[in-house]
C-alpha cells in the first residue's frame, strides 16, 4: 500500500509538474482491517499504526477499500475480507459455510492429505468452470490419496439455483448450503459400488497457500515462521540485578520486584568483569520483574529458557519486553520489563463501575493486535488470560486511552501436568487438555474468547467455583460459558469458544469485527492526543528515548537498543538507534545525513527498516531510528549456533536479493560484511548499516570516493584499493568475502583481516593497503573455508575476479544460491565434495 506525497513549488517562472512520490505504508500482508466512515477511511496494520485518508465521497472511499481488499485476497488471504462494508456476498456465504474458493483438484487433494486422510473427511469448493456450482469431495476408508486411481475419493456436484441448492442425483432442494450439508450427514452417498459418508469438514485456513493466491516471493511463507530450535536471549550477570520484594507465585516460578543495573560504555565482557555498576559513572537502574524458576523444578529449565527465547525474539508494542536471562548456580531468572499498573484482572476488580465499554473495547483490540502478530509468525502464546495482561497506562483520565502489554506465558505449555492444564480451564482450549501436542494458534483464540469474557465481567472468572473434575466434565460435555448481553459481542466470543479448533476465526477477523462492534467512544480517538505531541511518525524526540543497552559498533557509529516512550509510562516500542561517534568530521556528518536519506527510500524485506530520526541543537546532531532486529548480527550469532550449510546458503540468497534491490535503485553499499547483516528470525536476514552507501549517478558505472576515512579494506575489491573506484561489482566482491565469513561461521581466528594479515605480515596504515594490493594483484585470495563444497568456493572466487566486469551480478547470484540451497538441504555433510 502506498500513498503519494505532493510537493508544491513557489516560483515566478512557470511551475514544472513533478510526478508525486510514493511513500510506503505497508505490504498487503501487514493490513489487519479497514474502517470507513463517510468519505474517511483508516487502513490499520499489524503494529497498530494506521493510515487515515479522506476521499471525495463515500462512494470513492468504498471503491478504494474494494481495490485494497481485492489485492489483499489476491496476495495474502483468499478467504478473508478487510471491511464489512465491501464484503463480497459470495465470500461471506463461503465463510459461513466453510466453502473454499475455486481451487484446482490437485490443491484440494493436497490439503486433504495434510489433514489426515481419514474416512469421511470432505471439503466444499466452488467450481472453476461454473460460478453456480459447488464441488463436494469426500474421502473413503482413510486410504492414501491417489489421483490416478481415485477409488478412494469421489466428487459430487451441488448446483445453485435461484433460491436453493440441489445435489445432483437427489431432487430435493434446500434453501441453504448448511441445511443441505446437515441433511447429507445423516445419509450415505453412492457412486457405483462405492459408498461414502460425511464425517468431518476440511475448512479453509487463514492465509493458506493455494492456487487462489499470487505468490510474489517464494519465501514469504517462511518469513512468517519463527523456528525456535535454537535458544536465543540476552545473558545477564547476577551482579547486574538486585532482587527486592516478593510479588507472588506463577506456575513453578516465584516473582520478585527487582532492579537491572544497565551499564553504558562497556565495550566487552572482559572490561565489565573489572568494573562494578557502582563504580561506573554511566550506570543506571531499570525497574524490572524477576521471574525465578523454583529450584525444585530445575529439570524444566530448558522449557523455561524456551519461553524466554520466544519473548526475546518477538517485538510488538503490546508484548512485554524480556531483557534476558540470568543463570547463577541453581538459579534461573527471567528478567522482564516492569509494567507499572500490574495485572488487568486486579485492576478490573478494583475499579469496578468506573470502567466504560469503550475502555474495555480498547483493551480487547490491543490484545487481539498482539495475538494477530504472533499468529502471523505461526507462534503460540499458550497462556492468554487477564492476569497475564499488564496495564502500562490506566487510561481513566480524559484524553488518554488505556495501554496493555501481554506478558510472557510462563514455563512452556509442554511441561505442564494434566492437573495444571485442568486448573487452567476455562482459558485453556479443550483440545489441549488431553494432548499438549494439540497446542496451536487456534488455542490462543479460545483463550482470547475467555479473556474477553473476563474483561466484560470485570474479572469475574467463569467456573471459578468448580472443582477440577467438574471443569473437566464441563469440557467433555461441550458446555458453553456465560455470554454478555451485548448480542453482537456475544456472537464473536462464541466463535472464539468453538469446540472445533478449525472453525475459530483468525485474529485478523477478530480485529476487524471488534472494530465494527466498538460503540461510539466519548473520547475523540481520531484527533491527536496531547500526550503524543509528535504528529509526524518519523520524528522522534530525544527526551522520550530510554536506553536499554548497546547493540554494537561500526567504523563510524554505534547502535543501541532504546525504548521510545513519549507517554513516559512504559508503553513505548523498542527501536535501534544509531548515532555517530564523538569528534566526527564535517565530511562524516554530511555522509551521515546522506545515509539517512538513502534509508528513507528503501523498502525491502531483506533490508533493515527505517523508522525515523531524532535531532537536537538545530539538527547539528541527528540520530537514526531503525527497527529493532532481536537476534543481532550474523557475526555475533553464527559462532554461538549450529547453523547448517543449507541455512547459510539461504542467508546468502537473501543477502543477494537485498543487494539486487539496492543496486536497482542505483545505490552501492560499500560495507557489506557479516557484522552488517542482521537476523530477524532463524529464516530471515536483513542488511543494515548504510553509513558508506553511495548513489551512482545516472549514466555512470562507478563512484569515486574522495574523502579519507577508516575503511573496511579487507572486504574491498582491488579497484577500490587502487583507484578509490566503487562499481556495483565492488559490492559483489564484498559479498564474496561475506560468504567466506558465513562459511567459517564467523570464527574470529578465520576472519578476513586475520587471514590477510597472515599472508601479508604485520603492517600499519597505508602500508597495509599497498601490501594487500600486491597480494591481490598476484592472484592470491582467501583460501577455501573448512568443509566448503568446491562449487561454492568457485562461486566465491568468481566474486573476486580482478576485472569487475567478469564478476556475476546479484540478480544472477540469487538463482544460483537458491539452487545450491535446495541441493544441500537434502544432502548429508559426509557426501559434500569439499576443496
The predicted-structure confidence for 235-258, as pLDDT tens digits, reads as follows 889 989 999 998 888 888 889 999
Per-residue pLDDT at 277: 37
User: What's the average model confidence in pLDDT over 659-688?
Assistant: 94
Per mean pLDDT, which range of 135-149, 192-206, 363-377, 786-800 is the poorest? 135-149
The matching CATH number, chosen from 3.40.91.50, 3.30.200.20, 3.40.50.1820, 3.50.50.60, for 539-627 is 3.30.200.20
Residue 392 has pLDDT above 70, yes or no: yes
Q: What's the burial of 112, exposed, middle or buried (CB within 10 Å: 0-12/13-18/19+)? A: buried
The mean pLDDT value for 526-538 works out to: 39
User: 112 and 89 in contact (C-beta within 8 Å)?
Assistant: no
Q: Return the CATH class of domain 93-142+151-201.
A: alpha beta
Q: 3-class SS at 491? A: helix
CATH superfamily of 632-826: Transferase(Phosphotransferase) domain 1 (1.10.510.10)
Question: In the predicted model, is pLDDT for residue 6 greater than 50?
Answer: no
- Kindly tell me if the per-residue pLDDT of 366 is higher than 50: yes
Q: Are 737 and 752 in contact (CB under 8 A)?
A: yes
Put simply, whether the predicted model's pTM sits higher than 0.85 gets the answer: no
Indicate the angle between helix axes 487-496 and 507-517, nearest 10 degrees.
Answer: 170
Cα 56 to Cα 19: distance, rounded to the nearest angstrom: 21
Which CB contacts under 8 angstroms, 24+ apart, belong to 599-602?
599/624, 599/626, 599/690, 601/665, 602/661, 602/662, 602/665, 602/690
Name the more confident of 207 and 43: 43
pLDDT of residue 558: 83
More confident site: 381 or 526: 381
828 confidence band (pLDDT: 50, 70, 90): low
Name the architecture of domain 238-263+284-337.
2-Layer Sandwich (3.30)
Reported in sequence order, the residue ranges of 91-164 that DSSP labels E, i.e. its strands, are 99-100, 121-126, 133-139, 153-160
> Higher pLDDT residue, 654 or 265?
654
Which of 408, 569, 671, 689 is flagged as catalytic?
A: 671
**DSSP string covering 342-361:** -BHHHHHHHTTTT--HHHHH
Q: For residue range 267-292, list pLDDT tens digits in order.
A: 444 434 333 334 344 568 899 999 99
Query: What's the rounded mean pLDDT across residues 65-87?
Result: 94
Please give the pLDDT value at position 313.
81
Pick from 206-210, 395-399, 431-435, 726-730 the range whose average pLDDT is largest: 726-730
Sequential DSSP letters for 322-334:
EEEEEEETTEEEE
Residue 270 CA, chain-centre distance (Å), reads 34
Least confident of 430-439, 446-455, 821-830: 821-830
How far apart CA 80 and CA 508 sit, in angstroms, is 8
Average pLDDT, the chain: 84
CA distance 800 to 660: 18
Terminal Cα distance for the chain, rounded: 48
Tell me which architecture the domain covering 342-517 has in CATH: Orthogonal Bundle (1.10)
Greater confidence (10 vs 15) lies with: 15
CB atoms within 10 A of CB 67: 11
- One fold for 93-142+151-201 and 238-263+284-337: no
User: Does residue 265 register a pLDDT over 70?
Assistant: no
Q: What confidence score (pLDDT) does residue 537 get?
A: 58
* High-pLDDT (> 90) share of the chain, %: 48
pLDDT number for residue 23? 81
Q: Is 565 a catalytic residue?
A: no
CA distance 680 to 676: 13
pLDDT at 573: 85
pLDDT of 789 above 70? yes
The pLDDT score that the predictor gives to residue 69 is 95
Instruction: Give the cell for residue 36.
Output: 470507513
- pLDDT, mean of residues 21-26: 82
Give the pLDDT band (50/70/90) at residue 655: very high
The residue behind cell 483440545 is 431
Distance, in Å, from the CA atom of 799 to the CA atom of 780, rounded to the nearest integer, reads 13
Q: Which of 191-205, 408-422, 494-508, 706-720 has the highest mean predicted lDDT (pLDDT)?
A: 494-508
Rg (CA), the chain: 29
> What is the per-residue pLDDT across 403-419, written as a single tens digit (0 to 9) for each?
999 999 988 888 888 88
578 annotated as ligand-binding: yes
Indicate whether 20 pLDDT > 90.
no
Q: Categorize the per-residue pLDDT at 518 as very low, low, confident or very high, splitting at 50, 70 and 90.
A: confident
Give the model's pLDDT for residue 776.
96
In degrees and rounded to multiples of 5, residue 814 shows phi and psi of -60, -55
Task: Report which of residues 391 and 269 the model is more confident about.
Answer: 391
- Domain boundaries of the chain, sorted by first residue: 30-87, 93-142+151-201, 238-263+284-337, 342-517, 539-627, 632-826
Q: Which of 184-198, 421-435, 672-686 has the lowest mean pLDDT?
A: 184-198
Contact assessment for residue 701 and residue 729, using Cβ atoms and an 8 Å cutoff: no
- Three cell numbers, residue 80: 478473508
Amino acid at each position: 500500500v502506498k500513498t503519494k506525497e505532493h510537493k508544491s513549488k513557489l516560483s515566478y517562472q512557470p511551475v514544472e509538474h513533478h510526478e508525486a512520490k510514493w511513500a510506503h505504508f505497508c505490504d498487503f500482508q501487514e493490513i489487519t482491517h479497514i474502517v470507513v466512515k463517510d468519505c474517511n477511511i483508516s487502513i490499520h496494520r499489524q503494529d497498530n499504526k494506521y493510515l487515515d485518508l479522506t476521499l471525495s465521497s463515500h462512494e470513492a472511499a468504498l471503491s478504494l477499500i474494494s481495490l485494497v481488499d481485492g489485492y489483499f485476497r489476491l496476495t495474502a488471504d483468499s478467504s478473508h475480507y478487510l471491511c464489512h462494508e465491501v464484503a463480497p456476498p459470495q465470500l461471506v456465504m463461503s465463510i459461513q459455510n466453510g466453502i473454499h474458493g475455486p481451487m484446482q483438484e490437485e490443491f484440494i487433494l493436497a490439503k486433504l492429505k495434510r489433514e489426515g486422510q481419514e474416512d469421511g473427511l470432505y471439503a466444499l469448493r466452488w467450481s472453476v468452470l461454473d460460478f453456480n456450482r459447488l464441488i463436494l469431495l469426500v474421502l473413503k476408508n482413510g486410504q492414501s490419496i491417489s489421483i490416478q486411481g481415485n477409488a478412494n475419493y469421489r466428487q459430487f456436484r451441488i448446483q445453485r439455483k435461484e433460491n436453493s441448492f440441489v445435489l445432483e442425483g437427489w431432487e430435493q432442494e434446500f434453501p441453504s448450503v448448511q441445511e443441505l450439508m446437515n441433511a447429507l450427514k445423516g445419509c450415505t452417498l453412492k457412486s457405483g459400488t462405492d459408498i461414502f459418508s460425511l464425517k468431518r469438514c476440511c475448512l479453509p485456513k487463514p492465509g493458506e497457500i493455494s492456487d487462489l493466491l499470487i505468490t510474489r516471493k517464494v519465501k514469504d511463507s517462511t518469513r512468517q515462521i519463527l523456528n525456535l530450535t535454537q535458544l536465543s536471549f540476552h545473558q545477564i550477570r547476577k551482579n547486574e540485578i538486585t532482587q527486592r520484594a516478593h510479588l507472588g507465585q506463577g506456575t513453578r516460578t516465584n516473582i520478585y520486584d527487582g532492579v537491572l543495573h544497565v551499564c553504558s560504555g562497556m565495550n566487552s565482557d572482559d572490561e565489565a568483569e573489572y568494573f562494578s555498576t557502582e563504580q561506573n559513572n554511566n550506570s543506571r537502574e531499570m525497574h524490572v520483574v524477576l521471574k525465578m524458576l523454583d529450584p525444585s523444578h530445575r529439570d524444566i529449565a530448558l522449557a523455561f529458557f524456551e519461553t524466554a527465547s520466544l519473548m526475546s525474539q518477538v517485538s510488538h508494542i503490546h508484548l512485554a519486553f524480556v531483557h534476558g536471562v540470568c543463570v547463577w548456580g541453581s538459579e534461573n531468572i527471567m528478567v522482564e520489563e516492569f509494567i507499572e499498573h500490574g495485572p488487568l484482572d486486579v485492576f478490573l476488580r478494583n475499579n469496578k463501575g468506573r470502567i466504560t465499554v469503550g475502555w474495555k473495547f480498547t483493551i480487547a483490540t490491543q490484545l487481539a493486535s498482539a495475538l494477530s502478530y504472533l499468529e502471523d509468525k505461526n507462534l503460540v502464546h499458550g497462556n492468554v488470560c487477564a492476569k497475564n495482561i499488564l496495564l502500562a497506562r490506566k487510561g481513566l483520565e480524559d484524553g488518554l486511552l488505556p495501554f496493555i502489554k501481554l506478558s510472557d506465558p510462563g514455563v512452556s505449555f509442554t511441561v505442564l501436568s494434566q492437573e495444571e492444564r485442568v486448573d487452567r480451564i476455562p482459558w485453556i482450549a479443550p483440545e489441549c487438555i488431553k494432548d499438549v501436542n494439540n497446542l496451536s494458534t487456534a488455542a490462543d483464540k479460545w483463550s482470547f474468547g475467555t479473556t474477553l469474557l473476563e474483561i466484560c465481567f470485570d474479572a469475574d472468572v467463569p467456573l471459578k467455583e468448580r472443582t477440577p473434575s467438574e471443569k473437566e466434565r464441563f469440557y467433555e460435555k461441550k458446555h458453553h460459558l456465560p455470554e454478555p448481553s451485548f448480542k453482537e459481542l456475544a456472537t464473536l466470543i462464541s466463535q472464539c469458544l468453538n469446540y472445533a479448533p478449525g472453525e475459530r476465526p483468525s485474529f485478523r477477523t477478530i480485529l476487524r469485527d471488534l472494530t465494527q462492534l466498538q460503540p461510539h467512544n466519548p473520547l475523540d480517538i481520531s484527533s491527536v492526543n496531547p500526550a503524543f505531541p509528535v504528529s509526524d511518525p518519523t520524528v522522534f524526540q530525544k527526551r522520550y528515548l530510554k536506553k536499554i543497552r548497546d547493540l554494537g559498533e561500526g567504523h563510524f557509529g554505534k547502535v543501541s537498543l532504546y525504548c521510545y516512550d513519549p507517554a513516559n509510562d512504559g508503553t513505548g516500542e523498542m527501536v535501534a538507534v544509531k548515532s555517530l561517534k564523538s569528534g566526527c568530521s564535517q565530511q562524516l556528518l554530511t555522509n551521515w545525513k546522506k545515509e539517512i536519506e538513502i534509508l528513507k527510500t528503501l523498502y525491502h524485506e531483506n533490508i533493515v527498516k527505517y523508522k525515523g530520526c531524532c535531532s537536537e541543537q538545530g539538527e547539528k546532531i541527528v540520530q537514526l531510528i531503525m527497527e529493532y532486529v532481536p537476534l543481532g548480527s550474523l557475526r555475533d550469532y553464527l559462532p554461538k549456533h549450529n547453523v547448517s550449510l543449507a541455512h547459510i546458503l539461504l542467508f546468502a540468497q537473501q543477502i543477494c536479493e537485498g543487494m539486487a534491490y539496492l543496486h536497482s535503485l542505483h545505490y552501492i553499499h560499500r560495507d557489506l560484511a557479516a557484522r552488517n547483516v542482521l537476523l530477524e528470525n532463524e529464516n530471515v536476514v536483513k542488511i543494515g548499516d548504510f553509513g558508506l552507501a553511495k548513489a551512482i549517478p545516472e549514466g555512470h558505472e562507478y563512484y569515486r570516493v574522495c574523502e579519507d576515512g577508516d575503511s573496511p579494506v579487507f572486504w574491498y575489491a582491488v579497484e577500490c584499493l587502487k583507484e578509490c573506484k566503487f562499481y556495483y561489482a565492488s559490492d559483489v566482491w564484498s559479498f564474496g568475502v561475506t560468504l567466506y565469513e558465513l562459511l567459517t561461521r564467523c570464527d574470529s581466528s578465520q576472519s578476513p583481516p586475520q587471514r590477510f594479515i597472515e599472508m601479508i605480515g604485520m603492517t600499519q596504515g597505508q602500508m597495509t593497503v599497498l601490501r594487500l594490493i600486491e597480494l591481490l594483484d598476484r592472484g592470491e585470495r582467501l583460501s577455501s573455508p573448512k568443509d566448503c563444497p568446491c562449487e561454492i568456493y568457485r562461486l566465491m572466487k568468481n566474486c573476486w575476479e580482478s576485472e569487475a566486469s567478469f564478476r556475476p551480478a546479484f540478480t544472477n547470484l540469487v538463482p544460483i544460491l537458491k539452487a545450491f540451497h535446495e541441493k544441500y538441504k537434502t544432502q548429508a555433510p559426509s557426501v559434500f565434495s569439499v576443496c
